[in-house]
Amino acid sequence: MSNSSTSILPPATLGMLGGGQLGRFFVSAAHEMGYKVCVLDPDPHSPAGLIADEHLVAPYEDYAALDRMAAMCAAVTTEFENVPAETLEYLAKFVAVRPGAQAVAVCQNRIAEKTFLRDNGIPHGPFAVIRSDEDIADANAGLFPAVLKVARFGYDGKGQARVADRAEALRAFHQFKGEACVLEKMLTLDYEVSVVLARDEDGRIACFAAGENSHRHGILDITIAPARASACQQDSARQVAERIAERLAYVGTLGVEFFVSGGQLVVNEMAPRPHNSGHHTIDACVTSQYEQQVRALCGLPLGEPRMHSAAVMVNLLGELWYEGGSAQGVYREPDWRALHAYPSLRLHLYGKHHARPGRKMGHFVVVDDDPDAALATALAARAAIGVTD
């Protein structure tokens, strides 16, 4: 158990860098536990900022805003992996910052991330670092077909291109304006899973059950929890995720995405924050991933991650707000009665001020004692609200 003399207790103020939906859920969890929250995010309409006790509307590099945050907060965390590591390093001079800048820096750069996996003997797919045209020319021919990904700021399919050969890789590299990239061999996928865990400052880890993920247009569509993978495969994924957290000396909530290819687990990427595939923990677990983030940040004992129900999560993207599903259609609010008709479904809307196609606007979770029934209901609700394949 964590040392109570060093724990941060309510009604202390906690700091959150980033104002998206993950931060919003953190604010809600912190409020329920008696804390106040200060959010720093440049968007005046940010979902987390709208419900925070204080919202500093400023860039992450605004040192006056950072000084103000450090003065009012007992500890600071992040919901967004692209917050500059320099910002975390600066805040850490004055206040506890978890996770630390070094761990976030590894996760926010694909080159650093892949190098970390390779150097620590953690299973990963074949890759090459691309910083110039010559690197593409020198890349192993066995990498193709491949996916070229920018090293920084790529997410939800952005900053990525499938390339069949060197010529396509070269064109994509030029389209990315010569930004540093990784070239990853395209693997044949059996399925995808993720593990969300929390690790405290004393090295204790609490793992949630692995989730099984499917994507649509490069964005997470559905998570089934627990995953339908074998117990052995789930246990292996948990062990790898725990090893990553230990090697990073990580403190906080961490998401690890895996490909399963030819029956073998391969780490795809790491997220130094709560994970989209862990949304269901709010509705289906004793402790949510967001409460774990608060607990790890404040030096409290981690909560019980056990699932009390099977769950299926479905993302709701901005195209639902447009007739015909495109930005050319008439803008209107979806008919939420279609979802509220299912008693085992919980709808979560993020309060974003404007929908656009591909933007995560909300999600719903179906819980049930029967995993098959949860999936059947979730798919029926997904179709009823107008999500099409």
pLDDT tens digits, one per residue of 178-229: 899 999 999 999 999 999 999 999 999 999 999 999 999 889 999 999 999 9
What pLDDT, on a 0 to 100 scale, did the predictor assign at position 355?
94
pLDDT mean across residues, the chain: 95
Lowest mean pLDDT among 84-93, 152-161, 359-368: 152-161
Which residue is listed with tokens 């030029």?
A: 174
Q: What is the CATH number of domain 4-107?
A: 3.40.50.20
What pLDDT, on a 0 to 100 scale, did the predictor assign at position 154?
62
| Residues 334-345, mean pLDDT to the nearest whole number | 98
One-letter identity of residue 56: L
Q: What is the pTM of this model?
A: 0.95
Lowest mean pLDDT among 176-180, 232-236, 256-260, 360-364: 176-180
245, 248, 251, 252 alpha-carbon torsion, rounded to 10°: -60
Q: Which residues, at least 6 apart from 372, have a Cβ–Cβ distance to it below 8 Å?
A: none
Phi, psi of 338 (to 5 degrees): -60, -30
73, 79, 85, 88 alpha-carbon torsion, rounded to 10°: 10
| First-to-last C-alpha distance (Å) of the chain | 47
Cα dihedral sign, 112-117-118-120: positive
Q: State the pLDDT confidence band at 159, using cuts at 50, 70 and 90.
A: confident
- What confidence tens digit (pLDDT) does each residue in 7-57 have? 999 999 999 999 999 999 999 999 999 999 999 999 999 999 999 999 999
Half-sphere exposure of 134 (CA within 13 A, CB side): 0
What pLDDT, on a 0 to 100 scale, did the predictor assign at position 155?
61
Residue 2, pLDDT > 60, answer no
Phi, psi of 91 (to 5 degrees): -60, -35
Q: Which residues, at least 6 apart from 73, have a Cβ–Cβ distance to it below 8 Å?
A: 13, 14, 15, 38, 95
Phi, psi of 209 (to 5 degrees): -60, 145
The answer to whether 219 touches 156, Cβ cutoff 8 Å, is yes
The structural domains of the chain, with segments of one domain joined by +, span 4-107, 126-185, 191-385
Q: Which CATH superfamily is domain 191-385 in?
A: ATP-grasp fold, B domain (3.30.470.20)
Q: What is the CATH number of domain 126-185?
A: 3.30.1490.20
Q: CA 342: distance to chain centroid?
A: 27
Residue 1, pLDDT > 50, answer no
Lowest mean pLDDT among 78-82, 102-106, 110-114, 231-235: 78-82
What pLDDT, on a 0 to 100 scale, did the predictor assign at position 3?
47
Q: What is the 3-state secondary structure (H, E, C) of the chain?
A: CCCHHHCCCCCCEEEEECCCHHHHHHHHHHHHCCCEEEEECCCCCCHHHHHCCEEECCCCCCHHHHHHHHHHCCEEEECCCCCCHHHHHHHCCCCEECCCHHHHHHHCCHHHHHHHHHHCCCCECCEEEECCHHHHHHCCHHHCCEEEEECCCCCCCCCEEEECCHHHHHHHHHHCCCCCEEEEECCCCCEEEEEEEEECCCCCEEECCCEEEEEECCEEEEEEECCCCCHHHHHHHHHHHHHHHHHCCCCEEEEEEEEEECCEEEEEEEECCCCHHHCCHHHHECCCHHHHHHHHHHCCCCCCCCECCEEEEEEEEHHHHEHHHCCCCCECCCCCHHHHCCCCEEEEECCCCCCCCCCEEEEEEEEECCHHHHHHHHHHHHHHHCCCC
Residue 156, pLDDT > 70, answer no
